[in-house]
Amino acid sequence: MAQHEWSKTSWQHFPALQQPRWPDQQEYAAAVATISQLPPLVFAGEIRDLKQKLAQVEVGKAFLLQGGDCAEDFTMCTAPAIRELLKVILQMAVIMSYAGGKPVVKLGRMAGQYAKPRSADTEMVNGVELPSYRGDMVNAIDPTPEARRPDPQRMVKGYFLACATMNILRAFTLGGYAALDRVHAWNNEFVKTSPQGQQYERLAAQIDQAINFMRTVGLDTDIPQLQQASFFTSHEALLLGYEQALTRQDSTTGDWYDCSAHMLWIGERTRQLEGAHVEFFRGVHNPLGVKIGPNHEIDNVKKLVQALNPANEPGRLTLITRFGARKIAENLPPLVRALKQEGFRVVWSCDPMHGNTYTAETGHKTRSFDDILQEIRTFFEIHWAEGTVPGGVHFEMTGENVTECTGGGRNIMAHHLAENYQTMCDPRLNAEQSLELAFQIAELLRER
Ligand code: PEP
Ligand code: CO
């Protein structure tokens, strides 16, 4: 694969899985052409900054926290919804860096997580066979044939909503909202009274004291490290027409960057070595992720690493393993050993969500908090045993008070799932469950 020349259109000669069947090719081409004229959502310099931070993660000097919705919902592109999710991510990062002792790289599944791979082209809804919902950038979730028709104008709308999301994220993270002397304000009203919320309040009080002490002894606290948060965006790079349209050549280096997000990942279903996704992403200079599930072949993963990171550049490639709590112990050690033996420099991140999905007796797709925590623990233990670095975690989560995953401090049971089940796709951790995991991870980080 690496022999032929790359261009931002060379992927078109390779089979691209999981692409919608756009009914009107002209309409599709027009939408892609429109996006390709619009400004980039992120800049090459920011992307390089993230890559450097991920290089720190790779050697264990920082920890990666990636999280957000399974599928972003166009109607949830509102300041409160974005702020609530950002708040939880900031809280988790503070917990992990303060209690865990490591800087945390914050990466949202946000501002473009609008396209979903599906296991089948159609699905049965109330006895009717309909095209599958493929994310708001493709079709609508409503169970009618009209709503499910792929509409390329949704890509254009997705671009503008990603842009609006990015804009408010920049405002929140750079404009004082994320300042460390506001840690108390990030605690959600409905979380405050829970044990996790109270544990967080105690930690926030310690941070307050530390900052006050700095002021008392005359240290300047009006510095970006305390007043601003660095925050990056990511999504599954699925719709290659959209990604191509936002791929731009950096004027300072001449390199190509996919400016739809800082980091892009290739999903479990589209990581074929000879496929269009791998072809496209080998040529852009962003940090990349690849999801690895229990059906991988080690040899194939090695070839993927070589194809996507031939120069073995630190921070370039993150392998996001998603084996499930019951399969990680069998799957992760041989993979880690094989890659270590090759001297490959990769960031290891744990997605404890996608291998732990099951259908509850109520019919809701769910995941149990205990399975999620178990997979994370095992992930750390395996990396410690193998002498590699457990670099990060990848969550599906929300700032809303949803009931989508079972367990956690409030012990959500199967019969509670219907109370506030909102997700467009996979079940997410709610704010309380997310904080609880952050405290657990902080303890693991402190252990080494
Ligand atoms: C996802 O992250 O939402 C997803 C579809 O994951 P995977 O590719 O690992 O199944
Ligand atoms: Co998902």
For every residue of 352-394, DSSP letters joined together read -STTS-EE-TTS-EE-BHHHHHHHHHHHHHHHHHHT--EEEEE
Residue nearest to atom 3 of ligand 1 (CA): 70
Task: Tell me the average confidence (pLDDT) per consecutive run of 10 residues in the chain, 448 residues long.
Answer: 84 98 97 98 98 98 98 97 97 94 96 96 92 97 96 98 98 92 88 91 92 94 92 98 98 96 98 98 98 98 98 98 98 98 98 98 97 98 98 97 95 97 96 96 92
Minimum-distance ligand 1 atom for the alpha carbon of 267: 8
- Rounded to the nearest angstrom, the distance between the alpha carbon of 354 and the centre of ligand 1 is 6
Minimum-distance ligand 1 atom for the alpha carbon of 268: 8
- Rounded to the nearest angstrom, the distance between the alpha carbon of 66 and the centre of ligand 2 is 13
**430 and 401 Cβ atoms separated by less than 8 Å:** yes
Write down the pLDDT at residue 11.
98
- Rounded to the nearest angstrom, the distance between the alpha carbon of 253 and the centre of ligand 1 is 32
Minimum-distance ligand 1 atom for the alpha carbon of 426: 3
Taking the C-alpha atoms of residue 390 and residue 383, their distance in angstroms, rounded to an integer, is 6
Ligand closest to CA 269: 1
> Which residues crowd ion ligand 2, with CB under 5 Å?
70, 426
Residue nearest to atom 1 of ligand 1 (CA): 70
- Rounded to the nearest angstrom, the distance between the alpha carbon of 396 and the centre of ligand 2 is 7
Sign of CA dihedral 94, 95, 101, 107: negative
Burial 22-44 (b: 16+ CB within 10 A, else e): beeeeebeebbeebeeeebbbeb
- Rounded to the nearest angstrom, the distance between the alpha carbon of 267 and the centre of ligand 1 is 6
- Rounded to the nearest angstrom, the distance between the alpha carbon of 132 and the centre of ligand 1 is 16
Mutational pocket test of ligand 1: of 73, 107, 134, 269, the residue with most ligand atoms within 8 Å of the beta carbon: 269
User: How much is the CA Rg of the chain, to the nearest whole Å?
Assistant: 21
pLDDT single digits (tens) 125-157: 889 999 999 999 999 999 999 999 999 999 999
Which residues, 6+ apart, have CB-to-CB distance to 147 below 8 Å?
139, 140, 141
Angle formed by the axes of helices 431-447 and 195-216, nearest 10°: 60
**337 and 386 Cβ atoms separated by less than 8 Å:** yes
What is the value of pTM for the model shown? Answer: 0.97
Which residues, 6+ apart, have CB-to-CB distance to 304 below 8 Å?
271, 273, 278, 290
pLDDT single digits (tens) 385-432: 999 999 999 999 999 999 999 999 899 999 999 999 999 999 999 999
Write down the pLDDT at residue 323.
98
DSSP secondary structure code for residue 6 in this structure: P
Minimum-distance ligand 1 atom for the alpha carbon of 116: 5
Query: Which structural domains are found in the chain, ordered by start?
Result: 10-117+152-447 (3.20.20.70)
Which residues, 6+ apart, have CB-to-CB distance to 159 below 8 Å?
35, 38, 41, 242, 246
**305 and 317 Cβ atoms separated by less than 8 Å:** yes
**90 and 106 Cβ atoms separated by less than 8 Å:** yes
Taking the C-alpha atoms of residue 284 and residue 267, their distance in angstroms, rounded to an integer, is 17
